[in-house]
Structure 1
């Protein structure tokens, strides 16, 4: 052991480094490559299956939603009062004129559904003695129903789904939702049938989105394992599950791993509610790891390349290492003696010694420019604090406004109000951004507040009246943008809306005081308790303040204009609150 140690100690530095490179560089590279290959395969499989699960669940939910809409429409037609009354009438006691009139009404009624939820055709089957038109194809006799495959199996008042014998105007295959029209007194007494036909393509397009992995197959089948719709391009016949495999996979809550044909696959089956259909997705294991083999081969080649580069680098480093260390040591001695001009050593090397030289050079430069950097850093800190405070604008106004627009979209005749709201919101945020400017004119700031109140009143049923009385010549004063809106927002949300009668007025006035401009925002809300008012502008924890926080506005003004400027607040419970803003009066000059 001592001989080995003595041998290692007496080795030249070059040989020591080459040995160290072999042990501490090449060996870790090999280990890391093997570990990375395994982790890559694991992560790819995990992410792929997570993505596949998300896609499968979204598609199955969307298919269920579309089918539910079609079933609902079929039920509405079958239960329509006019359809039901015509179906139950005795043809022998039903005047032809009245038949024509009612069937014409029914025809218009059926046509209205053909413009809804992707239903292409609605057919009604009534007593053969009734007036009907086999040529038009929308109102037919019961005898015609016998030509359809569902005639023998349909019973009761439940909607059943079947493959259709027809196609739509584009020549695509259609599917059918069929329901019997039964007597109200006896559900076994069938008076007619309703058949709504819808394109198979809409489901094929939907389930194709479940194939998030290359080579996957998704299809829909019924409880007789008959194919309803499929993303099969003709090359995946071997991937369809057998009945026994369907029963096996249906028992899994997650993906089942099994062999289909000669391929190992992941499979998932989910029943579609209210139907006898199921949606199935098959993912070949080879599709998941198709790219993994390329990654593995690439990593091995890269590992060999790194080993070769590492060995050549070790030879080069050992030859130059001592020389550069001596050079750096001599320059550091010169710097220690105060000779900073000789201490600047230029090096383009990126290894540890090169980085050490670069850091040494940087240290010398920083010493020489310390005072100038300190001044610049102070200015940047002041600007950063200002931008940080300005970035804390409350986002809930945007969320609430978008939520209001969302609910308005569900109401009829709200189109103009939605457009008005969106125009106001667009102008509001255009003024908020203001091309990145810090200062804006008081006129723009007042417009900004007016748009805010206009949008809020759409939510609050015009509960807030805004009264602006600012002389026109004062409106050209420059002011930090988004100064008034947070104050007005606090007045609305925490002043007026907390009254027993949530209605009130906000007054905005402005006047000159020497070379300063005083802007007051007064409301007739509930006021602020004295214990809160005393600490309102000194609250360090802004998360405890209402809304945007008056402390932030006060600090923004003081940071930008100086310590003598800012906010002052007066308030009286049950009377209201007055916020006064003091800023220097300077006319705003457009940066453009």
Structure 2
């Protein structure tokens, strides 16, 4: 690679640095996730503290009520005042906490009834009177809270939950003087405690000492005074509520009151709302993750494309070359190792092309030499046989027959010695065969008849290799008809078209041959090109020069799919079929547009 240019390895290192940036983003996302988890835990801790404060708020309000009860008791026992003074003290207590204390009444054992407001004790029904008597039956009970119940004495009417707080009033000697009863609005106590939820959506549930649901309220953060009261079957008992919250994945905290009335407060936090506050952090982390993943994918494809593109290009080029396109050249557009490999490959292909061209020229020269060698073997053999026939005619025939035979010989020699082209028209070749059979018929004293059909007009101008039929008819006469006895010999030659091929059939009714001899007939042997005499031909069964030479010539020129095929039956006859390829043009068959196609 040339100096001053960035190599493939350096580029790879540059690309591999980029994933570290993505990994850093992933680390940031993990940090954000851990931060969110920490904030959520902190928030849960805050919710725990809020529950404790809410319960403490309820306990504080209840303690204030107890202090009021004890203060009024002291006024009754030690004040030395009249009931009117007690009522003013009761009024002060009620007016100080009107939302919590709905009314106060003193029921003396002597039948005295004093309270505030004055109509309040008239609202007591048998239910309320029964609760008071039950709670004050034992003078040692002290301050007793009743279980909350619905009453019209609450701040919200029929749906109000109230609790009656009672205290047995006794003198210094322990003798009972009467009962002091406070009516407390439990709904308001719970609402005030639930208000500590602040910015969270929470649900506060209050359970009595027997774990039964007293009251349930939901605080909506956007307006702390907007409440939704409800009671569900799943929260009727504390155990059922805990099971329900665990199944639904809600976060809850339970806090017990350490003093009377020993209720339990359960605050359920809206975790989904809490999580919504951290969604921007989560979205930011997800965004980093998505971008990081997309970046890694893009990076992978970029690196993969950068590396595999030249390799794929080389692979496609090699396949293109394998299909025979040896002139294919790879595009060289890169200054790195891949570009250098492409340039060396192009140089190698140019060298291979030069070698192939040289080899083609050598093979062409060799093929032409082989054709000329085969022709040189046929022509002397043909001339020898023909002169031998004329020599015989001088002794037995008249002058006219000899002149006619000499004219035929002149035509044959002129046709055979014409070296201007190895291709002649089918019509000329059929005429040459007819003249040649005329000479052979005279040589064998007309012991056989022959018929050479004129080439069809559409095939007469088709150009084929010359002198390919003469050895075939010669072998048919010499090996098939010469030894025939008992019937007159016949020989026929005709040409037909079969698709894009030209078929020439030479048939005789001679002695025929066996399948074994047919198998040996066209088997190529190196010695077939070294023997040219008729004697040698006879010693090898007549196939050293004749049919084998023709078969070799056809395959050299047209290819392996063409040549001679032989069908023969003993005492029936032999048919030699010549298959050549022709080319058809839109102009039909003529000397310039149609020829037997070479395999080149």
* TM-score range normalised by the length of the shorter chain: 0.3 to 0.5
Per the normalisation by structure 2, the TM-score is: 0.39
Rg larger in structure: 2
